[in-house]
């Protein structure tokens, strides 16, 4: 199975996937390409260090040319198709995908979100959970990995989720570190359950 990993930042979750693939714990998974929508994303260097092809797909040229987000997304899908991509994993991809992209990968797009289903959708989820804790509104947050079937924000069917407590002496930084630790474990496990299992089922049928 050829995977595309879409990133926007440092790529720590990408690194966790690379580690699992290289250790043989994601059998049959090939990291076909890593795509970033930000030029300075360190995840591009991580991918290159492991011999994984990288692509930069910037939105700004589309905006400057008066082209739509749908055009951007359609071209992104075409880019991935050139690499023979079967599955798409959003690992810190800070961009909402439209149906112009998703229609090319129905039920084959997976997203990581640092909150539980129905809580803190969208950006800055960890900060918002921490602020809610300080107001006495929540006692925990979490991490989920879910399918992206449509343009809804962090509402697709859940693959895996794990609660993360917020401790009385937590700072935003300690909470972030604990959540990232869960992310690094949960995302490869979701890939293992969904993609590796699917591949095994197809092979045995």
CA-CA distance, 16 to 146, in Å (whole number)?
18
Scanning the structure block, which residue is given the tokens 């798409």? 88
CA-CA distance, 38 to 93, in Å (whole number)?
10
**Largest CA-CA distance found in the chain, in angstroms, rounded:** 53
CA-CA distance, 147 to 131, in Å (whole number)?
27
For the chain, the 3-state helix, strand and coil shares in percent, each to the nearest 5, are 40, 20, 40
10 is written with which tokens? Answer: 């440092």
Tell me which of 57, 104, 108, 113 is the catalytic residue.
113
Active site residue 119: no
Count Cβ atoms below 10 Å from residue 76 Cβ, excluding itself: 24
Catalytically annotated residues: 113
């Amino acid at each position: 199975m050829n995977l595309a990993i879409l990133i926007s930042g440092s790529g720590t979750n990408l690194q966790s996937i690379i580690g699992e693939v290289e250790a043989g714990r994601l059998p049959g998974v090939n990291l076909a390409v890593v795509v970033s929508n930000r030029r300075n994303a360190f995840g591009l260097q991580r991918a290159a260090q492991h011999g994984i092809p990288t692509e930069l797909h910037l939105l700004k040229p589309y905006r400057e040319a008066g082209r739509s987000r749908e055009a951007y997304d359609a071209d992104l899908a075409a880019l991935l198709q050139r690499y023979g991509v079967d599955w798409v994993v959003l690992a810190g991809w800070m961009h909402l995908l439209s149906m112009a992209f998703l229609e090319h990968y129905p039920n084959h797009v997976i997203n990581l979100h640092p909150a539980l289903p129905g809580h803190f959708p969208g950006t800055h989820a960890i900060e918002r959970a921490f602020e809610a804790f300080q107001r006495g509104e929540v006692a925990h947050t979490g991490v989920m990995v879910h399918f992206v079937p449509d343009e809804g924000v962090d509402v697709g069917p859940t693959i895996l989720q794990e609660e993360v407590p917020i401790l009385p002496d937590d700072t935003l930084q300690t909470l972030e570190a604990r959540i990232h630790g869960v992310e690094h474990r949960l995302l490869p496990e979701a890939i293992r359950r969904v993609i590796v299992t699917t591949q095994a089922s197809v092979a045995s049928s």
